[in-house]
Structure 1
Amino acid sequence: MSIIQQHTAASLSDAWRTINIDALEEDSSVNFDTSTLHPALPEVSEADVRQINIQVRQLLRGGDAEGALRGSLEMPVYNGSDLAKEAHLHTVIEVLQSIKASEMTPMLQRIYGTPGGSECLDVLMKYLYKGMAATSAADGNSSAPRTPTRMTPQQTGFSQVGGRPGGANESTGGAMSVLLSWHEKVVEVAGLGCIGRCMTDWRKV
């Protein structure tokens, strides 16, 4: 009989365990529900997103761009359908594009200096990265819908992607430029820690 043991794929797998030793470890994840580590998030419906969009548009028409920006950031869609998340992304981008470059830093500083302002800028950073990802995907696939440069309301209440007046053939470079400008200003006001918190937060927009 050969002293060389013949190994098979089965013998090299985890089948050699005769007992589940993880169950004997008090700190093992099998002994508690890991979902309890994350608190439940309120579900945001499509109707809620439509209502937020209406309120934000009213603030923009009234000339309160700062209130519109803060209002769109205080109600991020963490727990909602893909359609609701996409619609709210369009709302945030619409607000960002309505604000002049000279107003970015002073506005961010005022928001950052108020209670909950740091959280608002963290949320803004999440939407900036989400918008950049959507823009890059649209730029790499000409058949994909492009990141909105301007939006007009539909009868359904949701916003519809549309081109700037006289700029139907505008490339996604303009939209990316706006997002990058805001990214620079957010880092300038909130620091690099804003990026770290955005990347490590399990709550995704």
Structure 2
Amino acid sequence: MAKNTSSSAFRKIDIDQYNEDNFREDEADPSIPAGPDEGEVCALLNQAKYVDALKHVLSHAPIGTSNQQIKDNALALTLKVLLAIKSAQIEEVVGSLSLDDIDILMKYIYRGFEYPSEGSSGHLLLWHEKAFNIGGSGSIVRVLSDRMKV
């Protein structure tokens, strides 16, 4: 049987901190990269080192930042790299990526579908097909359920 006490220690919890209306987005870590270096990516593209350019863009993706301008700049740069790679080279390029890079690539592909430009949708569909062949449906689920957007 429970012991009756006059202790009120259990009443010291602030339940308002768990209210959904008081939710605050996690603060971004200042050590998170501010996006890929445009000069370095353009230099790699000029030297026709497309794989290195794509790996640089994916490894420096501003996933943890809340600054929308940085994310938009990274998207534009990533789409520039994706559209520069020829259709025949896509499978080789995707095959050289790690599974984490493929997940980030899928994030950029879906974000590219949100803002289509002339001729980009068909090219992004090719990228999606090749990334899906490597990453499978698990990659799509991870991208769609992840809170960290690009």
Q: TM-score range by the shorter chain?
A: 0.7 to 0.9
Distance 1:24 1:80 in 2: 28
Provide the residue aligned with 2:8 in structure 1. none
1:118 aligns with 2:86: no
1:196 aligns with 2:141: yes
Deviation of 1:34 after TM superposition, in Å, equals 7.7
Amino acid at match of 1:30: Y
Distance 1:80 1:30 in 2: 23
Distance 1:24 1:125 in 2: 41
Deviation of 1:43 after TM superposition, in Å, equals 6.5
Deviation of 1:80 after TM superposition, in Å, equals 4.1
Amino acid at match of 2:18: V
- Larger helix fraction of residues: 2
Deviation of 1:107 after TM superposition, in Å, equals 1.4
> Which shifted more, 65-74 or 82-91?
82-91
1:98 aligns with 2:84: yes
Q: Give structure 2 stretches of 5+ with no counterpart.
A: 1-10
Distance 2:70 2:147 in 1: 19
Provide the residue aligned with 1:70 in structure 2. 55
1:178 aligns with 2:126: no
Provide the residue aligned with 1:187 in structure 2. 132
Distance 2:50 2:131 in 1: 16
Deviation of 1:63 after TM superposition, in Å, equals 1.6
RMSD (Å), alpha carbons: 2.9
CA contact (8 A) 1:105 1:189 kept: no
- 1:38-187 equivalences under 5 Å are 40-42=28-30, 48-49=34-35, 52-78=37-63, 79-111=65-97, 117-135=98-116, 147=117, 172=118, 174-187=119-132
When normalised by structure 1's length, the TM-score is 0.58
Distance 1:80 1:64 in 2: 30
Q: Give structure 1 stretches of 5+ with no counterpart.
A: 1-20, 112-116, 136-146, 148-171
Shift of the 128–41 alpha-carbon distance from structure 1 to 2, 3 Å rule, reads farther
When normalised by structure 2's length, the TM-score is 0.77
Determine which structure has more spread, i.e. the larger CA radius of gyration: 1
Q: Indicate the structure whose relative CO is greater, using CA pairs within 8 Å and at least 6 residues apart.
A: 2
- Structure 1 vs Structure 2: percent identity of aligned residues? 27
Aligned residue pairs: how many? 136
